[in-house]
Structure 1
């Protein structure tokens, strides 16, 4: 299958069952300062006849907030057989203006075979000049393969074998005066020149595990720090390992994919971690905190907080106030370890309605390193499914464990 969405996590899922994997080391052209990496994965033919090639690119030092023309290029001999594409050098600068322009580079890397577009348009760099791109193309959809340079139509077979092909990214700011009196996109006027090649790299075969390792490095490099405004804001970290900080308002904060650190600030915040192993803190206010996927650590802080670990084995700490610890009770939601449950103030909430007291069992056992080694943990099991929903650290000291399900609440120790 094609990857499910434009995230590193879904790309990695696709990559694990891919037919072949490739890597690209992108190096600067035309003194752009751009550098980066790409991973390409070719999937198996699917039941409907589709065969997807997925492309992930991360590049730094590009012009901020600009659309990026980018393509897979390739050369052919006189008989139409694929030839090895290479990155151009200064000797490709035939008009001697100091810049290798689009048509000057074609002799080295060949014509455009596959435009790496995004929903039919140009993908855009971030405000910091980082460029992150993840996209999927069906090799058997001929509409994907054409050259906007020569207006030639190609097919998916023309980009194969990929280890003879090249990726080129475009968009360079040129100083005024360079190229004056010459033809081409560099003509002395200066400024941002979207067509000018900024970086290129030859596609090289790589093992699946090697490609997964490179993809993880690329994902880690996309992290950023985002801070909410004072009046209540909505902030999404997106890709990468992000630091997302709330302010004094009632913020909606999401780490997005990656391993994120999200902190809510003083207001009544809604905080979610997304995919990845995240650290989520509500701090002040009555917060709603959801870990979603991965093994997360949730900290409510002061206030009456609602903590939902989500899928994976999570650690929950409500902090001060009367807190609610939610477990959906479905397969994959796993066991949430609650570090500071208080029978006098806190509540467990079961996701399904209609449950009764008899549907739950409390067992006790000491878990080394979980809390006080002399005190047992209380393990709350949903009897019909056999799933352990919560592990209450040092829970044997509690005389009451309240659980809410649907419209009913009951004490598991009564």
Structure 2
């Protein structure tokens, strides 16, 4: 059944929200004030599919990507920059208010820079035995084949072609593949997952493809297939060789912006614990002035951080330790050695660790988050434990999506 609805506002996930019979109806790719024609979405009574825009918002702009509206990577390319930026900052303001958290929210910092430096492409065989390599479609598990993506850093040039070339010889396995590609100083670092065990002949074929596409390194489930150049990145004054499949901030400017905010909040620290440290985007910069102990469950990342710190002159002592902070958070007696804590957990937040921080005597806690909802939950625990939320700065490195990063400072 076709309906005509009025969009009231843009919701937290980037969909337009229409209020129909007292209920919220979600329509992707729409803006507040628009009248749109929609159709039901099977299995989702609160969602509608956009058919046509009867009356467009004056804030609507043409999307810049030919795949927008089909590819699930971007939710918002159709909104003018200023109202989009106001909406994204307000995601933080509203979520904190709902959690009864008082704290100044600074203006949104744009950190898109040159674009994304890492992507994960998916390779699947269609029902007609046609190979598709690309991104997941909006709202489904279908794959949208792509031969270009305008939000990528130019350093990822050749990434899409390499992914197609690697997927083609693996199609006889019949397995769905995930191909993670990261831009590094040495070139493209690629890790292929999902292929299962492969015969030596197939490994040799993949090695030839890697050589033809001048990949810095090709790994399969983290196991080395070929390395032409060490896949390194620069963090501060250190050079880090990435473990296969490493997590990095999505953009170079995003990492630099978050690190600058963290460093500013830690400028009087004498001994910092960097929790969920990864390969050291904060630790290796903070160590230019301060002693740092770094912790993360990823042993490969921790080893890469430690090796980089030892090879870099001029840094204060850095001690890196592999530790699962979800299962074994640092306890108050262990936290007594530090005067400042930095934590940057995955999207699920750091509830177990935060509960220990809340009963510690640490003077300053600096939180970095990629999920404002779990940040608000963790911040509420700290505030209830006697901390004051002094400031929150939202950072937009995932432009065109509802994802927002933030850096916050707490003082006991």
Normalising by structure 2, we get a TM-score of 0.24
Larger helix proportion, structure 1 or 2? Answer: 2
Larger-Rg structure: 1
Normalising by structure 1, we get a TM-score of 0.24
